[in-house]
Amino acid sequence: MRYFSIIFFCLLGITYTHEVHGQILNVEDVRAQRDTTKSLAGNLGLDFMLNNRSATAANQVQFLNFRVNANLALFGDNHALWFINLLNYSALTGNPFIRTGYSHVRYSLHYKRKLGWEAFGQAQYDLGRGLRQRFLGGGGVRYNLVNQEKLELHAGVGGMYEYERWRLLQTDDEVDLSLFKSTNYFSVNWLLWEGARLHMTNYYQVGLDQNAALWRHRLSVDMLLQLKLTERLAFRVSVDAAYENRPIISISPYVYTVTNGIMVAF
């Protein structure tokens, strides 16, 4: 009864999705879903929506949304490797307005110890907002503050190199930018009760743009509530919000995403 009430209110209250993925990828999402008894874990999610609410036959209005996320994690005694991928497409009457995607790979050394090391790389695009491509790579240290069965607290400090290419929405001209940045996070992984888990990660990235003589800051808060329905199925609600103080082009400095759906684990 408790599971049913939570699911009902999540479906009732979260009915609107502004589907623009945040500027900072939440890798902890996949890490939180791991089963430490397995050496191989993953999940595959598929969402498809086709909606026709045309008022008349002459004035056709059709909404299409297609989203796929595929994640895979390999765990060893001292090493862990993650592959995280997302593809999202939305169009209104044949006119696409959301076209996003990314691929992320991350390697962790001594991930079970108090102090470990990480390296990562990522490719990303967000055509609706003007981001033609983003490539980044870096590494850092990860500190396990609390590592209990019901509660995990982690903090990470590192650096990365990032290259971005943007298209100006008004003129179609392109600009690019390369930066070295500090990248840091703090995450909470909390088992609320059997079958229900809450995960939250806060990111902060900052770099000095020497050409413009200014600091570029990014903040991100990602939250995930996951309710286990069966051994392989889970219902999940996620809220992601990100803010960038000085975007490369003239766009909104913040983005957010609210989603709910079913996840299949293997």
Q: What range defines the domain where residue 21 resides? A: 2-265
Report CA torsion sign: 127, 128, 130, 134.
negative
**Residue 55 pLDDT level (bands cut at 50, 70, 90):** low
The reported pTM is 0.73
Q: Provide the number of structural domains found in the chain.
A: 1
- pLDDT band, very low/low/confident/very high, at 140 (cuts 50, 70, 90): very high
pLDDT for 42 beyond 60: yes
Looking at residue 122, which CATH number applies to its domain?
2.40.160.40
For residue 201, the one-letter residue type is T
33 vs 126, higher pLDDT: 126
DSSP letter assigned to residue 252 = -
- Pairwise CA distance, residues 7 & 194, whole Å: 15
Long-range interactions of 110-117: CB distance < 8 A, separation 24+:
110/78, 111/78, 111/79, 111/80, 111/142, 112/77, 112/78, 113/144, 114/143, 114/144, 115/141, 115/142, 115/143, 115/144, 116/141, 116/142, 116/143, 116/144, 117/141, 117/142
CA dist 234 → 57, 124, 127, 171 (Å)? 40, 27, 31, 45
Positive or negative, the CA dihedral 248, 251, 254, 256 is negative
Which pLDDT band holds residue 41 (cuts at 50, 70, 90)? Answer: confident
